[in-house]
Amino acid sequence: MVVRDPLPRMPDVKRALPAGRGAAIARIAVPSVAALCAVWLGVSAAGAADYKQAPALDALVKEGKLPAVTERLPKNPRVVTPYEKVGTYGGTWRSGMVGGSDRNWLFRIAGYEPLLAWDREWSGKVIPNLAESVTGNADATVFTIKLREGLKWSDGKPFGADDLGFFINDIAGNKELLPNGIDWVMSGGELPKFAKVDDTTFTLTFKEPYGLFPQRLASVYGVQAVMMAKHYCSQFMPAYNKDGVAELQKKAGVASWTELFIKKCAVDTEVNERWQNPERPTMEPWVIKDPYISGATLVTLVRNPYYFKVDTAGQQLPYIDDLRISVNADKQTLVLKVVNGEIDYQDRHINTNSNRAVFADALEKAKLKIVDGANADMNTTIISLNLTHKDPVKREIFNNKDFRIGLSYAIDRQAIIDAAFVGQGEPWQGAPRKESPFYNERLAKQYTEYSVAKANESLDKAYPKKDSAGFRLGPDGKRITFNVLVIPALGDFLDSTQLVVQYWQKVGVDAKMQTVDRGLFYDRKDNNDQDATVFLGSGGMVDALFEPTFYFPFWNESLFAVPWGTWFASGGKAGEEPPAPAKKQMDLYRQITRYADTAKQAELMKQILDIAADEFYVIGVSTPGGLYSVSKKNLGNVYPRPFAWTYPTPVASNTETYFFAK
C-alpha cells in the first residue's frame, strides 16, 4: 500500500495528522513562547513487500552477496514524491569540476543527507530525513530526536543514536581534534548534553535556548552530524583503539592521530578529505569509488545499496547508477564539454549570463535543455565601504551617511542592469528579495533612484569642497580617494563595479577599482586593511535568518565592518565594540536564536532590518536575474529550484530522483 505523501503544504497541526492511514509519522514540534506552533509532517511507508530495487542489485541479491531490499531499507523509508514522475533505473550522470579543490560540487550533487532537510520548495520548512522527528521543549533547550528505525550505513552496519553520541561527545567535544568545538551545534558557547534513550532515540540538552536548531540541522552544516560512522571512525581514535592507532598512523604516513582521523573521516563537510576515502561509510545516495585526490582527472561515485529513500512506487532510490565527474583545468573546458554533449547536468561554473547564448545555440545539437531557477542571492553587487577603517579620516568619511547616500544616488542602476546583466534584475539595495518572508521595502528601495542632482546635494552636505580637478576634498583637506577591491574570478560583479566607479567619478568622488586575487582579498579583509569591497549579496531568501551578513555586523564576512562582526561572533572576546544601533541589532538577533516560532522570528527580523535601513550599511546595485542549469533533454525530475548555499543546489531538490527517460 502506498500512501500519498502529504507534503508539502500542511499548515494546520490537526489536519496534518494523517490519522487512520497507519503511516509512520515524523514530526518536528518545537513549541515556542507564543503558541505551540508545531510543524507536523507525515511520511508514509510503502508496504514492505512492494519495494523494488535496481536491476544490478537484483543480481547481487540472487547471488547472495547482498541482503534483500526489505532488509536493507529502514522500517519506514523516506518516501520522496518525484517532481515530474516516477523514474526508471540506470544510466551515468556526467558532470564536471574545476581544479583540485572544487569539492563542494560533490557536496552539492550528492552530499546532503542531514537529520532534517529543507522542503524542495525551500519555503523555510524543515522535513524529516534521517530523523523521523525532532521535538523541542517549551523553551527550546531540550530536543528529542527520533531516528528512523533500521537505517544502515553504506557498508550495511546499523546507523543509530550511538553514532550521534559519538559525534557530539567524541568529535565535537574533543579538544585535541576541535579546540573550538563546532559552532553550529553549540548554544551559549557550549555543546549540548547527549543522552541516549534507546538505539534510535536520544535527547540533546542545550545550555541556552536554541530555537534555530532544527533549521541548523537542515542547513548544509547539519550534514556534519551524520557524516562519521562510529564503528568505522572510532578505530582512528586513541580513546577507542589505544593499541591500534599507532600502527594505522604509520600505515597512512601521518604524524598524529588527529591528522589520521581527518584523513580517514574528514570531520569537516567542506574539505577534500570527505571525498578521498572510499572506505568511509556514508548515508548518501552514491558512495565514492574513484576518490578526489590530487592529480585525479575523474572522480566516480556508485550507488549506495543501503540508501534509505524510496519513490512513491516503492522503488529504492537513487535511479541513476553512478556518477562520473571530470576534473577540468578551467571553466571554459567545462563549457565546451557541455556544448559537445559530454555533460548530463551542470550548473556550477558555467551558468553565467554570457554563456547562455553559447548553450542556446547548442540546444539542438547536444540535446540539451536549460532549466531556469530563482536566485536566492539578493544582490549582484554589494559595495561595502569599510566603516571600521584604520585610518581615522577615511573612517570618518565612510561613516558619514550623507556621503553614502550621495554615492548611492549617483549610480544609474538601470543602465548597469542593461549593460552588465542583459536587462535581468531590478535596482536594489542590500535587502532580502521580494519573495522572502523578510522583504522590507524601505531597506530594498531607498536611495536607488538615479539622480545626479540628489547625489550632489547629498555629497555637498557632507564634503562640498573640491580640488582643481573637480574631486571632493575630505575633512583633512585632501582629496577623497579610495580603492574598491574586487575578485575578478567570482561572479559578474567585475563589470558592474567598473561602471559604478565611473559614476562616482562623475560626482567628484575619486574611487578606483582594484582587482585582486581571492586569497589577497581575504587577507586584506581579515586584517581590516581594505577601503571598500565588492561581493555578492547572499541571504536573499529565508537564509537571511541564518546569515544576515549584510544586515548587521554578524561575522567576519560582514565586509562593511569586519571587526564589529568579529566582536559579535566571538561574543565580545575579539574585534571591536560596535556602536549602539548595531548592538541593538545583535541583541535582537540573540533573541531570534532563542525562539522557534517563525512569526516571532519574523517580527524580530523586521526590527533588525528596520535598523539596517536607518543605518544604510552597504550600497547595493541590483537583484540578480534567475540562474539556470543545463542538462540533457531526457534527464527527468530536474526541479527549477532556487540557487543557494544554505539550501545546497541542486542536491536539496532530490538529485536521487533524477533519471534518464528512454
Partner 1 sequence: MTASSAPADLPAPVDLRAARRASASQWRLMWWQFRRHRLAMISSVVLALISFVAIFCEFLAPFDPNAFTPRYTYAPPQALHFFDRNAEGGLVWSPHVNGYKVTIEPTALRRVFVVDEAQKVPVGFFVASEPYSMWGLFTLETKLFGPLNKGDPLFLLGADRLGRDMLSRIIYGTRISMSIGLIGVMLSLVLGLVLGGISGYYGGWIDNIIQRVIEFILSLPTTPLWLGLAAAMPNNWPPLQIYLCITIILSLIGWTSLARVIRGRFLSLRTEDFVTAAKLDGASERRIIFRHMAPSFVSHIIAEVSLAIPAMILAETALSFLGLGLQPPIVSWGVLLQEAQNIRSITTAPWLFAPGIAVVVAVLSLNFVGDGLRDAADPYRQS
Smallest gap, in angstroms, from Cβ of residue 35 to partner 1?
46
Smallest gap, in angstroms, from Cβ of residue 100 to partner 1?
17
Question: Which residue do the cell numbers 580603492 mark?
Answer: 483
Smallest gap, in angstroms, from Cβ of residue 98 to partner 1?
14
| 329, 360, 490, 574: residue in contact with partner 1 (rule CB under 8 A) | 360
Smallest gap, in angstroms, from Cβ of residue 96 to partner 1?
14
| 311, 495, 543, 615: residue in contact with partner 1 (rule CB under 8 A) | 495
Binding string, residues 312-351; x marks residues near partner 1 by CB under 8 A: --------------------x--xx--x------------
d(CA 205, CA 100): 40
Smallest gap, in angstroms, from Cβ of residue 471 to partner 1?
13
| 355, 384, 388, 629: residue in contact with partner 1 (rule CB under 8 A) | 355
Q: Give the range of 37-45, 60-68, 518-526, 608-616 binding partner 1 by CB under 8 A.
A: 518-526
DSSP 473-489: B-TTSSB-EEEEEE-TT
Instruction: Answer whether the bond into residue 114 is a cis peptide, omega within 30°.
Output: no
Are the CB atoms for 349 and 332 separated by under 8 Å? no
Q: Give the range of 75-83, 204-212, 411-419, 431-439 binding partner 1 by CB under 8 A.
A: 411-419
Smallest gap, in angstroms, from Cβ of residue 655 to partner 1?
24
* Dihedral sign, Cα of residue 510, residue 513, residue 514, residue 519: positive
Question: Which residue do the cell numbers 592521530 mark?
Answer: 257
| 278, 423, 571, 579: residue in contact with partner 1 (rule CB under 8 A) | 423
498 binds partner 1 (CB under 8 A): yes
Are the CB atoms for 60 and 316 separated by under 8 Å? no
473 binds partner 1 (CB under 8 A): no
Pairing of the two strands 131-136 and 25-29: parallel
Question: Which residue do the cell numbers 574570478 mark?
Answer: 489
Smallest gap, in angstroms, from Cβ of residue 386 to partner 1?
11
Give the list of residues 6+ apart from residue 537 with CB closer than 8 angstroms, or none: 377, 378, 379, 380, 381, 382, 430, 550, 620
357 binds partner 1 (CB under 8 A): yes
| 34, 252, 415, 599: residue in contact with partner 1 (rule CB under 8 A) | 415
531 binds partner 1 (CB under 8 A): yes
- For partner 1, give the closer residue by CB, 70 or 424: 424
| 135, 235, 399, 424: residue in contact with partner 1 (rule CB under 8 A) | 424
d(CA 74, CA 80): 14
Smallest gap, in angstroms, from Cβ of residue 447 to partner 1?
21
| 36, 48, 520, 599: residue in contact with partner 1 (rule CB under 8 A) | 520
3-state secondary structure labels for all residues of 533-554: EEEEECCCCHHHCCCCCCCCCC
Smallest gap, in angstroms, from Cβ of residue 310 to partner 1?
36
What residues form DSSP beta bridges with 328?
98
| 117, 147, 228, 420: residue in contact with partner 1 (rule CB under 8 A) | 420
Burial 590-619 (b: 16+ CB within 10 A, else e): ebbbbbbbbebbeebbbbbbebbbebbbbb
Q: Comparing C-alpha atoms, which of 327, 339, 293, 274 is closest to residue 113? A: 274
* 3-state secondary structure at position 134: strand
* CA angle 399–624–386, rounded 5-degree value: 15
| 329, 370, 452, 490: residue in contact with partner 1 (rule CB under 8 A) | 370
Q: Give the range of 119-127, 177-185, 307-315, 416-424 binding partner 1 by CB under 8 A.
A: 416-424
Q: Give the range of 29-37, 340-348, 514-522, 545-553 binding partner 1 by CB under 8 A.
A: 514-522
Question: Which residue do the cell numbers 578521498 mark?
Answer: 276
- For partner 1, give the closer residue by CB, 108 or 349: 349
CB atoms within 10 A of CB 284: 23
Give the list of residues 6+ apart from residue 527 with CB closer than 8 angstroms, or none: none
Are the CB atoms for 662 and 393 separated by under 8 Å? no
* Dihedral sign, Cα of residue 70, residue 71, residue 77, residue 79: negative
Question: Which residue do the cell numbers 555578492 mark?
Answer: 536
- For partner 1, give the closer residue by CB, 130 or 630: 630
- For partner 1, give the closer residue by CB, 81 or 498: 498
What residues form DSSP beta bridges with 427?
622
Smallest gap, in angstroms, from Cβ of residue 360 to partner 1?
3
Smallest gap, in angstroms, from Cβ of residue 402 to partner 1?
23
Rg (alpha carbons) of the chain, rounded to whole number = 26
| 247, 418, 476, 614: residue in contact with partner 1 (rule CB under 8 A) | 418
Binding string, residues 155-194; x marks residues near partner 1 by CB under 8 A: ----------------------------------------
501 binds partner 1 (CB under 8 A): yes
Smallest gap, in angstroms, from Cβ of residue 351 to partner 1?
11
356 binds partner 1 (CB under 8 A): yes
- For partner 1, give the closer residue by CB, 268 or 492: 492
| 476, 529, 587, 614: residue in contact with partner 1 (rule CB under 8 A) | 529
Burial 449-470 (b: 16+ CB within 10 A, else e): ebeeebbbebbbebbeeeeeee
Q: Comparing C-alpha atoms, which of 607, 606, 604 is closest to residue 592? A: 604
246 binds partner 1 (CB under 8 A): no
Binding site for partner 1 (CB under 8 A): 332, 335-336, 339, 353-361, 370, 415, 418-420, 422-424, 481-483, 485, 488, 494-495, 498-499, 501-502, 512-517, 520, 523-524, 529-531
